[in-house]
Amino acid sequence: MNPRRDRSAWLHGPDARCQDPPPRFPGRRFVLLGAPGIGKGTQAALLSAAFGACHLSTGDLFRAALHGDGDRLSPAMRDALARMRRGELVPDVTVLDLVRERVECLRCRGGFLLDGFPRTVPQATALDRMLSDEELGLDAVLSYELPEEAIVARIGGRRTCPACKSVYHVELRPPRTAGRCDACGGELVLRDDDQPAAVHVRQAAHAANTAPLLDYYGRRDLLVSVDADGSPEVVFDRTLAALCARVR
């Protein structure tokens, strides 16, 4: 297993430097799709440990800004954070500015696992352009699937560490000590956008945007569907099996 990668350049922008040593083997480049709360972040952490690729979550970028110095936020970022608290999508232009600033992370030899981006077809076409400018391509787009009632039940039990972004579930993936992060000891919280009112807005936004995105990647023969029912380990095994079946 590879150590967890530090992702400084992604979380803190292009002036920050990652501490990880350069990877020995070229990494994989995956996009993870699926409704909020389906467990993409957990799968991304497991895939990152297995393949060494960085887990790049646009949601983590906004949460890092939320917990940073409020006085230094641009008007676009303030607007983005207000939308995030309500469970709405952030405008494409804001998301794309943030990702473009971090294009080094897309070029990284270690590869990447994009989680929460792209969420719309304009974001997907912009990502394609950024990658093709670097003569890079995606290995696969993993689409995690589960009925909405099961997702809403999962989100209610989800707990996140604001300090190191580790994700737990009170029943499916409990921390060793209740309410405390195993990795850094931080206090675990229910995210603002995991509160019930925001959850419904997020599910509706996902439903509206997801079909065109699945169609977009299906037409490029990149889509790999994974049933997200079961424990994180079961879903992870299913993910590896689906990826193996694709390369055969």
CB of 98 to ligand AMP, least distance (A): 9
| CB-nearer residue toward ligand AMP: 184 or 204 | 204
| CB-nearer residue toward ligand AMP: 127 or 226 | 127
Q: 1-7, long-range: CB within 8 Å, 24+ apart, which pairs?
A: 1/49, 1/50, 2/48, 2/49, 2/50, 2/51, 2/52, 4/45, 4/48, 4/49, 4/183, 5/48, 5/52, 5/54, 5/55, 5/110, 7/54, 7/55, 7/56, 7/105
Name the segment binding ligand AMP (CB under 6 A); options: 16-24, 51-59, 160-168, 178-186: 51-59
Concerning whether 40 is annotated as a catalytic residue, the answer is: yes
Concerning whether 165 is annotated as a catalytic residue, the answer is: no
Instruction: Write out the binding residues for ligand AMP, residues 52-111 only, by CB under 6 A.
Output: 57-59, 62, 83-84, 87-90, 95
Set 7, 29, 63, 119: catalytic member: 119
Cα separation, 210 vs 216, in Å, equals 10
Concerning whether 238 is annotated as a catalytic residue, the answer is: no
Interaction of residue 123 with ligand AMP, rule CB under 6 A = yes
CB of 183 to ligand AMP, least distance (A): 18
CB of 117 to ligand AMP, least distance (A): 4
Q: Count the Cβ atoms, other than its own, within 10 Å of residue 210.
A: 17
Interaction of residue 116 with ligand AMP, rule CB under 6 A = yes
Q: Report residue 28: phi and psi, to 5°.
A: -95, 155
Tell me which residue of 130, 109, 141 sits closest to 27, measured CA to CA: 109
| CB-nearer residue toward ligand AMP: 100 or 109 | 100
Q: Report residue 135: phi and psi, to 5°.
A: 55, 40
| CB-nearer residue toward ligand AMP: 1 or 211 | 211
Helices 75-86 & 196-219 angle (0-180, nearest 10): 110
Question: Which residues are paired to 143 by β-bridges?
Answer: 33, 225
Q: Count the Cβ atoms, other than its own, within 10 Å of residue 1.
A: 8
Q: Residue for token digits 């954070």? A: 81
Set 28, 102, 158, 159: catalytic member: 158
With CB under 6 A as the contact rule, the residue among 9, 18, 30, 36 that binds ligand AMP is: 36
Q: Is 162 helix (H, G, I), strand (E, B) or coil?
A: coil
Cα separation, 41 vs 130, in Å, equals 23
| CB-nearer residue toward ligand AMP: 111 or 116 | 116
Over the window 179 to 198, marking each residue x when it contacts ligand AMP by CB under 6 A and - when it does not, the resulting string is --------------x-----
| Binding interface with ligand AMP (CB under 6 A) | 36, 57-59, 62, 83-84, 87-90, 95, 116-117, 119, 123, 193, 202
Catalytic residue ranges: 40, 119, 158, 191, 202
